[in-house]
Amino acid sequence: MSDPATDKPTVLIVGAGLGGLMLGALLEKQGVPYNIFERASTVKPLGSGMAVGPTLLPIFQQLGIYEDFLPLGKRIRYTPFYKESLESYRPTDHIAIEEFTGYEQYIVARPKLYELFLKQVPANKIHFGKRVLNITEEDDKVTVYTNDNGMHVGDIIVGADGAYSAVRQRMYDRLKAKGELPKEDQEDLPFSCTCLVGQTRILDPVKYPIIKESDCVFPTVLGADKPFSWSVMLTAQGTLCWSVIHHLNEQTSKAAMEQRFRSNDNAEWGAYPAQIMCDETRNFPIPLGEGLSTLGDLYDMAQKDMISKVMLEEKVFTTWHSGRVVLMGDGAVTAMHDAITLANLIYCMPTTTAEQVTKVFEEYQEERYSAALVSFKNSQMMSRFMEKGIIGVIMLYLMTHMPMWLWRLALAQTVKIRPQVGFLPSIPLKGTVMPIISPSEQKAKALFDRQAA
């Protein structure tokens, strides 16, 4: 058997999103050779705010970026919900998360988190403007062909390029041609929401006193007679991020899909559709005080090219790998957890044979598939709030009238998946709710401990 310390696979990562960068940073720690290929020619600081807490912070400690992260985030303790009239529901309370895990929850502007992870990967290992045209595979190697006539050979290809993955499409085309692609994976990728995201410029705290709040202000408003919900998040940089979600029905989803594919071939629309959605929603009210009474007030304080409209897809595919090609999930936290599992298993690979690669991919899917389903179901449950029928009414009532003991039980379940990297020094466990220790973490840690001894 080969020594894992010397017989390392060459990994080709397609997609330089948060998941791809996390995998690159972890492979960098291992000394595994890798390259990241990104179709975009430049990094554009798009996006809203995202929640980062105990499901990621231990890994940040292991990577040595925890102290760099803290100034970027703003602690969140409550999420107030409002009717469109700005009459408030009972806010949801996140304070117990610190008790359960020993970590607080933060809101961070997604572009800031992206910048932090971009620094963890050497610039010469990220190749922008490289669109994947084709993938070919032989028994012992796999090759990526890019739009600049590039040919890149490795042992493993990781598709970290989002919901409309070029890697997945080519893998599925190959499997479908051989009659090996399950029917459920041949169906169109459904989506039930479109989302407008953006961020204001840095605001004057004298003119807008809310900027001086020590914790993140995070109001969410539920539309009364319109299929929209919208949230605003205060960042540590003195900006306000927003996320406006248009909840689609069968008819509007089909119309939005047709409009989308007239515009481009991935999950982001261009500037014109984003501006149309801004115009449509600019009068929606927000409870932020004088000078910040509508979403339009935020839109007017943002660079127009930093506002984007994206699709929020809803599907868990059943086929995650074939041969030497493997896929990572979409979504920030899910994709980063996928990267941790995959990195743990790559660390333990004894050889780079086709049989060993398949075994690693099978272990990876077995571990991550159930977690992906849980995340998918949680997302579906949250979307039920916007249903105008009896189910939506019941869901909203339960959320806003749930007894605290029941809320604490539900909250405790959300923090049980707190993985760590097995091949880096462990971070001591904290809090009253112990995490689920993943098989890949245990496997990598056992090998790491043996090598250290």
Task: Write out pLDDT tens, residues 318-369.
Answer: 999 999 999 998 778 999 999 999 999 999 999 999 999 999 999 999 999 9
pLDDT surpassing 50 at residue 426: yes
Query: CB within 8 A of 204, min separation 6: which ones?
Result: 211
282 inside domain: yes
Q: Same domain, yes or no, for 79 and 100?
A: yes
60 inside domain: no
Print the domain residue range for 82. Answer: 75-109+190-314+387-419
Q: Which amino acid is at 250?
A: E
Q: Same domain, yes or no, for 341 and 446?
A: yes
- Tell me the two tokens of residue 447: 């090998």
Q: Same domain, yes or no, for 155 and 292?
A: no
Q: What is the CATH number of the domain that holds 155?
A: 3.50.50.60
Query: CB within 8 A of 445, min separation 6: which ones?
Result: 422, 423, 426
51 inside domain: no
Pick the more confident residue, 220 or 258.
220
pLDDT of residue 250: 59
pLDDT class of 382 with cuts at 50, 70, 90: low
The model's pLDDT over 199-213, given as tens digits with 9 standing for 90+, comes to 999 999 999 999 999
Which residue blocks in 141-216 are alpha helix, DSSP H? 166-177
Across 1-5, 61-65, 77-81, which has the greatest mean pLDDT? 61-65
pLDDT of residue 384: 62
pLDDT class of 164 with cuts at 50, 70, 90: confident
Q: Same domain, yes or no, for 296 and 211?
A: yes
58 inside domain: no
Edge-to-edge strand ranges of the sheet holding 11-14:
126-128, 34-38, 11-14, 156-159, 325-327, 321-322
Percent of all residues in the chain with a pLDDT value above 90, rounded to a whole number: 67
Q: Same domain, yes or no, for 253 and 301?
A: yes
State whether residue 157 is helix, strand or coil. Answer: strand
Q: Same domain, yes or no, for 245 and 370?
A: no
Instruction: Specify the number of domains making up the chain.
Output: 2
Q: Same domain, yes or no, for 250 and 195?
A: yes
Q: Same domain, yes or no, for 12 and 140?
A: yes
The model's pLDDT over 280-318, given as tens digits with 9 standing for 90+, comes to 999 999 999 888 999 999 999 998 888 999 887 667 889
pTM: 0.92
209 inside domain: yes
State CA 43 to chain mean position distance.
17
Pick the more confident residue, 266 or 377.
377
pLDDT of residue 251: 56
The model's pLDDT over 72-100, given as tens digits with 9 standing for 90+, comes to 999 999 889 899 999 998 778 889 999 99
Tokens 């020993």 correspond to 102
Q: Same domain, yes or no, for 98 and 216?
A: yes
